[in-house]
A and B are shown apart, each in its own frame.
Chain A
Amino acid sequence: MNDVAAATLVQAAARAAPRVPVLEVADLSVEFRTRSGTVRALDGVSLQVHRGECLGVVGESGSGKSVTAYAVMRLLDPAARITGGRITFGGMDMLGAGDADLADLRGRELSMIFQNPRASLNPIRPVGTQIADVLLRHGGVTRAQAPARAAALLAEVGIPDPERRARAYPFELSGGMCQRVGIALALACRPALLIADEPTTGLDVTTQAVIMDLVLGLARARGMATVLITHDLGLATEYCDSIAVMHAGHVVETAPTAALFATPRHPYTARLIGATPRPGLALGDLASIAGSLPDLRREDLPACRFLDRCERARPDCAAAPLPRRTEAARMVACRYPL
């Protein structure tokens, strides 16, 4: 009963008021308790994704992209604590939801593709069986129908000879094939939101483009909302409607893709753009991003965590609170934006 209610909720919300975001993350903060101190991994993160839209989340490794995704899925490690904020998915409060409701939602309304395709498949279960597991879990098929449905899904993600491949184990498939299986798994139940966490890292360049076209093509065709997580600004530019730039657990800038490129307002965004290869720009011209992420276990983290790497920094940048300026569809978290 509960799943049906939730499903219609999401769809109704999406149909009735297209400007209500499918996913809204507001002011989310997450900490990890570790032996060597508390890691303040996310601090005041806000994101929105609408139906049929693709949001890119871009940032260096360690900036908190995966933690954000796991928080939305409510799949954080036991060591993590959500210390503040709201996550609303299709009008449902994700932080207040019970485990059973969450499990019903995951894979059916809310899905995820992972960074390391082979490692995110069960190594000793045929891939077709793994897809069948998901289909059976979320209803809609009988045990007898499941294998054929699984093969059909494999065909849909462009795997040749799907009946035979359904019986293969992950170690028998290439990385690109494994990622296709991951996509089939995530899209098996036609979710309303797909989170793709670095879906092409570790694949070779040609496969990368094929996989990205496949994911975004399916997403568009189905009117899904998509969150594309990547450290590659170029990739995000190519596929996303808007982009959120993350740095050290902060979203430092959010803007429609074109606007972000035309007029970056956060110094970090500007540097990222400067470091992104574009046609006509030689590799030697790329400005690398100096400095490194601050240690998030530090007790005295400045309000602006980019402070130490910023050439525009002024003394009052360290003072709390971190200003977040919102105008039209844009947000920038900087006291002295460009």
Chain B
Amino acid sequence: MMLAVIARRLAAALPTLAGVVVVTFLLTRALPGDPAAYFAGPAATREAVEQIRAQLGLDRSLGMQFLGYLRELARGDLGLSITTGQPVLSDIVARLPASAELTLLALLFAALAGISLGVLAALRPNGWLDNLCRVIATLGVCLPAFFTGLLLIYVFYYLLGWAPAPLGRLNAFAAPPPHVTGFFLIDSLLAGQGETFRSALAQILLPALSLGIFAVAPIARITRGSMLAVMSSDFIRAARAHGLSGRTVVIAYALRNALLPVVTTLGMVFSFLLGANVLIEKVFAWPGIGSYAVEALIASDYAPVQGFVMTMGFLYVLLNLAIDLLYRVIDPRMEVTA
């Protein structure tokens, strides 16, 4: 049943994935200047440039180039990074867990903070928490993520000295834990390395917080609104009339219903998080795919940037798929209407 739904949704996502591939291809072709001349270097002769052009397949028609591009993609060939000298794919695979760990922790933080704040605000409309929620929802969306990150560094690293230097995933003395998931927090626990875990946690807290604050505002606003609507609905009054305890009413009855619109907006939240992730990685020298792309971009090394854009496109499409499935898990009505 669920498998059939997943298959159906994957099939529905195929045109979007194709769109991602086409857009990435077009971005490759729109490279500034003449890529052949660029790759050949400034001292190259005319013949050398033409030779490279043929090598790169740039002398063929756009359609043929696209087919070649698809063939390379199918082989997992995203080109070479000039900066690192490595295949882009292997660079991205190596750096993806760092980004994923940061983004997911930020989302976890944002969801916990945003949902609790929204629920508490809705339970006492116009109370102080409600007002706090309103202020956060208004100010939170105005905060540039990179700026929040810097403020937190100033306060917690420079002034208070609580946080370690904002330089990567581990302090200089810790070695990465053995690779299982690529998430240092999980791998260090699996390996029983308490010291590594503490170091990884200390390093990730501030960036995850800066990234998460960004997403608290929309989540809190939507939770508050939908919780208010649900709390005044008939079935909540009925649940009270049957004597259910306040906790059951709020959590098992109201919150689960109120989460449906929140799950729907997670797609938008992820779009923001994945974008802001790039900025936060730069601020905290986080060795993920965002900082990889930024470094390559500054060095005019375009293959990694395109690989990055495509990876993010694919990831985002898959995330939206996962959100859709999560919605189905919470809401039984979806199976019929779909």
List chain A positions with a Cβ less than 8 A from chain B. Answer: 70, 73, 75, 77, 103-108, 111-112, 114, 116, 119-125, 133-134, 137-138, 169, 171-172, 182, 185-186, 188
> Are the C-beta atoms of A122 and B246 separated by less than 8 Å?
no
Contacts of A124 in B (CB 8 A): 256-257, 260, 330-333
Q: A73, A137, A169: which contacts B332 (Cβ < 8 A)?
A: A169
Chain B contacts with A in 229-277, Cβ cutoff 8 A = 232-235, 237-246, 248, 252-253, 256-257, 260
> Are the C-beta atoms of A106 and B243 separated by less than 8 Å?
yes
> Are the C-beta atoms of B332 and A186 separated by less than 8 Å?
no
20 additional contacts (CB under 8 A) given A106-B242, A185-B238: A75-B240, A103-B244, A106-B243, A107-B242, A114-B234, A116-B234, A119-B233, A120-B235, A120-B237, A123-B235, A124-B332, A124-B333, A125-B253, A125-B256, A133-B242, A134-B244, A137-B245, A138-B243, A169-B332, A188-B242
> Are the C-beta atoms of A103 and B253 separated by less than 8 Å?
no
Q: Chain B's interface: helix, strand, loop or mixed, by majority?
A: helix
List chain B positions with a Cβ less than 8 A from chain A. Answer: 232-235, 237-246, 248, 252-253, 256-257, 260, 330-333, 336
Q: A112, A137, A171: which contacts B248 (Cβ < 8 A)?
A: A137
How near does chain A come to B330, taking the closest CB pair, in angstroms? 7
Contacts of B244 in A (CB 8 A): 103, 107, 133-134, 137
> Are the C-beta atoms of A111 and B242 separated by less than 8 Å?
yes
Contacts of B257 in A (CB 8 A): 122-124
A171 with B252: in contact, given A103-B246, A114-B234 (CB under 8 Å)?
no
How near does chain A come to B126, taking the closest CB pair, in angstroms? 10
> Are the C-beta atoms of B237 and A134 separated by less than 8 Å?
no
> Are the C-beta atoms of B243 and A137 separated by less than 8 Å?
yes
How near does chain B come to A191, taking the closest CB pair, in angstroms? 10
The CB with the most chain A CB atoms within 10 A, among B232, B242, B336, is that of B242
How near does chain A come to B327, taking the closest CB pair, in angstroms? 11
Bound together, the chains give a CA A229 to CA B155 distance in angstroms of: 63
The CB with the most chain B CB atoms within 10 A, among A120, A122, A123, A172, is that of A122
> Are the C-beta atoms of A122 and B253 separated by less than 8 Å?
yes
> Are the C-beta atoms of B238 and A120 separated by less than 8 Å?
yes
How near does chain B come to A312, taking the closest CB pair, in angstroms? 39
Contacts of B333 in A (CB 8 A): 123-124, 169, 171
> Are the C-beta atoms of B239 and A186 separated by less than 8 Å?
no
> Are the C-beta atoms of A75 and B241 separated by less than 8 Å?
yes
